[in-house]
Each structure stands twice: as C-alpha cells, then as structure tokens.
Amino acid sequence: MPELPEVETVCKYLRKYVINKTIKDVNVYELKILQNITLKEFKKNIQNQKILQITRRGKYIIFLLSFSTLISHLRMEGKYFYYSEQKFLKFHKHKMISFCFNDNDILIYSDTRKFGTIHYFLNHNFKNNNPIKKLGIEPFNTNFNELYLKKNWLKTKKAIKKSLLEQNIICGIGNIYADEILFLSKIHPLSVTNKLSLTDLKKIVLATKTILKKAIELEGTTIKSFSSFQGKFSGHFQFNLKVYHRYNQKCFNCNFLIKKIKLSNRSSFFCDHCQIQKK
C-alpha cells in the first residue's frame, strides 16, 4: 500500500496525535513484528520514554524516543489508530501492537496481512544500522539529480521500472508512483536503465519530485485499502493518476489504449505510444 507520500501523510497525522506523549506500556500481539529485539527487552526499555519526534526515511516511519528509536514499516496494509478509550482495542482483529500512554490514550498498529515490521534501537544511532543504513537517496534531497542517477546506474542493465523500485538507490518509490513517473517522463518501463540519456535522467528526476510532491499535498493515493490514519483519512491522488490502474483506457495525451504488462510479477501500466523504449 503505502509509498513515500502515504507514509509522509501517516507521519503527519501521527505527529498531530502522539508527539510529546510518554509511553506507559506496550502490548505486542504478534511477536513477529519485532525484528531485532526480544519482547522482554523491548517492553522493559520502552516504558516511560517520550515521543520526541516523528520523521520519515524512505517508506519507514521513525519515532525518536527519549533514549531510543522505534522504526515502523507498514508494508502493504499497516495502519495506525488513536483512541482515548481502551475499549476500542477489542474492535481491532488484526492489531499487532498497541501503545498505552501516561494519559491512558492508546495508539494501535493494525495490519490485516501482518507483514509490518518494527525495528527498535536502544539509542539514537539508527542511521548506521539496517534497515535505514541500506536506503538510497531521498527524492527531495537536492543531491538527487541526473548525475546521481548516471553514477548509480552506469552498469545497470535491468528495466528502468525495476530500477526505480530499488530502495537502495532512490528510496520511497513504489509500484504506483514508478508507473506515474515513467509516464510523465515519457519513458517506457522496459527501457534499459543504462541506455537512458542524461536528458532522460533529468526528466525522471523532475517527474519524481513533481509527482511525489503533488501526491503528498493530496495525502497519498487510495486505491484499495489505504487510509492514512484512524481508518478515515484517505488520499486523493487517485484522481490524478495518469496510467496506474488505467488498463485499456484512453491515454490522456494521445488516446491510445493504456497497456498492462507483468514485470517481476508486478503490474506495470504504460502508454505504448507516448513512452519510448530505449533498448
């Protein structure tokens, strides 16, 4: 579900509700959510820590606590819910973890497919550790430009669509926005990555920044199940999608029909007529 704009939106709402709250206790319902720490150690350490800051890196949400760091990934369907009453806990069939604050408000992480993860560090030194360590550049970083891509894609022969999804080069782009970026850049998803010209790379950079910025403004894309917070805030970027999910519909530029192919088992939508393939 969530790509950079959706995660950014979730962060925005989380900040609104839980900044400066102190965690009293935590309940873990699905042990597998904890990636790098035992339940015992986690529970012991997190008590009485205050949430100082909430930031995003790639598709990860980073909770900076008084003396530790909690890093959450929503994978496909993870969602946060916030309540002032404990009784709402029982309505969440797929909850993986819940936090209870000093004022007895609660934050629930719910995930129907249970793919979500939490990494927990006993300090603030998370940047030099996985999963954050392996992430590539942020799309809004000023150093993200055509020269960065040229350098990193010099030897990359795979399809450009796949390259865009590699989080260790650029982080935050997922299947939806990759298709949209390539459409706006007029580049075919099967184009060989290192055959792209500097001009093409420049187009990709510009399209990436433009699309992600717009999607953040519209609070993300709601196709199937995405809601950013409390299950009731959904995005509006779906009304701005130019190719994604538009199979067999007319291209907004040229009226040819949008095509759909499978690339690494993921759907790719594109316009065969507008998007040029470099072999």
Partner DNA sequence: CAGCGTGTTGAGGA
Partner DNA sequence: TTCCTCAACACGCT
Q: Residues with catalytic annotation?
A: 2-3, 59, 266
Minimum Å gap between C-beta 175 and DNA is: 3
Question: In this chain, which of 157, 214, 236, 250 binds DNA, going by CB under 7 A?
Answer: 157
Q: Does 266 bind DNA (CB under 7 A)?
A: yes
Of the two residues 160 and 274, which places its CB atom closer to DNA in the complex? 160
Tokens encoding 272: 């065969």
Tokens encoding 4: 């950079």
Inter-residue contact 185 to 204 (CB < 8 Å)? yes
Residue 9 CA to residue 121 CA, distance in Å, equals 24
Question: In this chain, which of 21, 56, 57, 59 binds DNA, going by CB under 7 A?
Answer: 59
Minimum Å gap between C-beta 237 and DNA is: 10
Q: Which stretch binds DNA (CB under 7 A): 8-16, 19-27, 159-167, 250-258?
A: 159-167
Q: Which stretch binds DNA (CB under 7 A): 16-24, 197-205, 248-256, 262-270?
A: 262-270
Q: Does 214 bind DNA (CB under 7 A)?
A: no
Q: Does 253 bind DNA (CB under 7 A)?
A: no
Q: Does 226 bind DNA (CB under 7 A)?
A: yes
Residue 2 CA to residue 14 CA, distance in Å, equals 15
Q: Could you give the string, one character per residue 117-156, with x where binding to DNA holds by CB under 7 A and - elsewhere? A: -------------xx--x--------------------xx
The residues in 8-47 that bind DNA, with binding defined as CB under 7 A, are: 32
Of the two residues 26 and 78, which places its CB atom closer to DNA in the complex? 78
Minimum Å gap between C-beta 222 and DNA is: 6
Residue 77 CA to residue 114 CA, distance in Å, equals 8
Q: Does 73 bind DNA (CB under 7 A)?
A: yes
Q: Does 267 bind DNA (CB under 7 A)?
A: yes
Q: Does 3 bind DNA (CB under 7 A)?
A: yes
Residue 107 CA to residue 84 CA, distance in Å, equals 9
Q: Which stretch binds DNA (CB under 7 A): 12-20, 63-71, 169-177, 199-207?
A: 169-177
Residue 236 CA to residue 221 CA, distance in Å, equals 6
Amino acid at 170: I
Q: List residues near DNA by CB under 7 A.
A: 1-3, 6, 32, 58-59, 73, 75-76, 93-94, 112-115, 130-131, 134, 155-159, 162, 165, 167, 174-176, 221-226, 263-267
